[in-house]
Structure 1
């Protein structure tokens, strides 16, 4: 984003809210202090959310903006999350501020069908209370990208010009706003009133900010005020009082209760109390109900209650008012359920656990998950044949509020709404009142049942989270090092060409080969644009689709970059010092500070194992210059007669890094002749230390971006692999698989997989298909 000098709109009073479509908030308005809305530290925390965090936030809110592409302030077509991130970085303003502003002004986070007018005036910038949006004077501010850019930019302008512009509100000065005396306690608060000179508009901002970003404890957490016997469940931003011990122990593990100051609880509005034990039978004078977690399931009749064997002494008489707030669920009949509460079974044959309920069985991957969902469970022994009468359901994961650690990794997560949220460091972990003994170790496969949610505090930087007996300064590098994927790729684009070569442009949408697909061998039913399976020794293509169609390589480019640098004599023992002004790449997820030093060998491993972008620039800079390395890469391609392959950088971020599946097959096999490169691509993980450490976090651990490397039950071994992803390329993967039975090796190349969620399932299916051809 180009730096611009933003001028304030002196003749306009900025609007407080054009579309009052704010969602119902659980924040108590009585706690609102008009003199202190947010701190300057909060407003200027531009690194509070990464690109990925912003995208996850929009996805979690089911926001239209999650898949919205438009022009940014410079006319470049890109994704909404990217526009928000770039504006935050350009002006050093918190992206959370931008997200709240978009909701407060136009409800763009939660409105499922925003109008073009809402999008065009997304932040209300330049529009006064009595102005028309068709006023010619303000059309220069029209457009989502311009609105986001100006909303962030004006805040930075206020900071830089507050001493010279008397009309900018200032801290510790009394103002009369909507008939009320206000004395801002921070510059950030003063600037919010400068932007929106109304109490109610800033109250809405404060409510949204606190609802989304200031309520620390995730849903599923049990809280108890210090010195009080009352226990509350935090759920959807509200606190629900658990009114009796039986209601507590039938739903939760009491050892997970976190003690907090009473003031902490006061920030949560009251929700529906939890007054009955789970699976209670309730009678309101007319109807019988089973309380199934938070749902009421009506019995078809009193006779059904009797036939299902419930003891009359178990039935609790209640008032109809006691049942208010509980949603209704499926009716219980004698034919629909023999055990409406469900039951956990353990198979006699293999000891596997399943949960049976309402004609559906759910696999329970391990005892930790079972205990998380069913405290104190005692499984019923059963034969495998029992599953024949049930339909297969979703595998169960951990319950909300559970703390987990993936075995072999040094990250702690808390589960919320079925997603795992990373707790960034030990300080945060302990400040929340969590206890190490409540962290449940689990395997990688089980953890992958939970998608990633926003990190607690939204920080991308990661540090170790381990008890004192373990290393306290190891970090796991996030992978893959690529833009956050869209849930679905819509309207794939055909590849434009010039002089017979592709010209890929940044569109935010995956390119696809136009026309009828061409196949080698038997067509495989897949939306992957281009693929091949080849014999490793002869390079004969056994199966393939669009094998001669050029496609963006994304991080598959790094294989050629690494090979070229190794062949050109890269000194792997040399130490490279990080300079962010020269080395920081887009999608920079490398935990490194200016002045920190790392050996080239370790940079090489980070570049290939975790697929980090910044190390590729540091290595090229160490050897010569990035441009010289790129020219050598293209020279290698020419020497190997790869006429439809081209390279433009060392990281793969440039869309003009492209090749075909057929040519990349030759490239990959040629590069594997370098034994060092082949060994690195075979690793599942790698650890190293910084030579010069500036932030007391000297240890790094990289995990291979191909998640199949972590699986141990596959009929093949992956002896070398690399992944890549850009919006325009889709998911790319290359790997060498070797049959454990016959030792036969195959090369698999997948280019342009639009289904990011199932990318490794597809890769595994191709590998199994290859082995089936033996």
Structure 2
């Protein structure tokens, strides 16, 4: 997993921009200055981190800006893509992806040199947005409406990370089907396993591990979603036994005490059988022992359900 497109990085006396996922070196510091970049906007990175982006052509001319270059014209931000210039829908959208110092300041006449795209650039993938009582997550240039509070919290999202968007910011997106608790985290979400000391970026439905602290910082503009990989390694089992009498039902009891401190509310069940069986129905019931602490937890759950119903799930 390499640096984010548009990143400005340096190693020793070498200056680079990440353009179309490639590491493109500027031929000299003087060229960097001639193009209008602020020397201080280039972040010093480790040499090992540079290898995760393929090398592109060296930049030798001050006449053409490389793709993914960023600009500020007045109060607006722009980015070059395929030698067209696209406008960020708002400064807030820009700030979810980049820092202001990464953009080269230009006058209005600069825009006359480019074909201006009709499409706006929005928020970074994985950004949480709200409009009225509706909540959304941005992914692959679209917004997924989050169906309820339970889904939001079960996915590990943080209420403090939600950006209250306006109609214009939401309006540039195509809305897709509801995002529910049954779905995996969408593309753009960053996952953090603190016990393992690893961070992952969800891309194309897969986890891609970040390979360096500066690479992480090129993507991470808000708190990651906390996960625990050890939860995948903790298992319990029980043997199904036929109920007494003429019933065709089977049951078993499985303690899950060892899983109580694992982050998340999702469980995976696997049924193994030595012979072919036909299952008409599976019922799963979670029970708590009658303790004062469990009573408090139950009352807390009831409160959450009241809140969900109040906002019109």
TM-score, with length taken from structure 2: 0.45
**Higher relative contact order by CA 8 Å / sep ≥ 6: 1 or 2?**
2
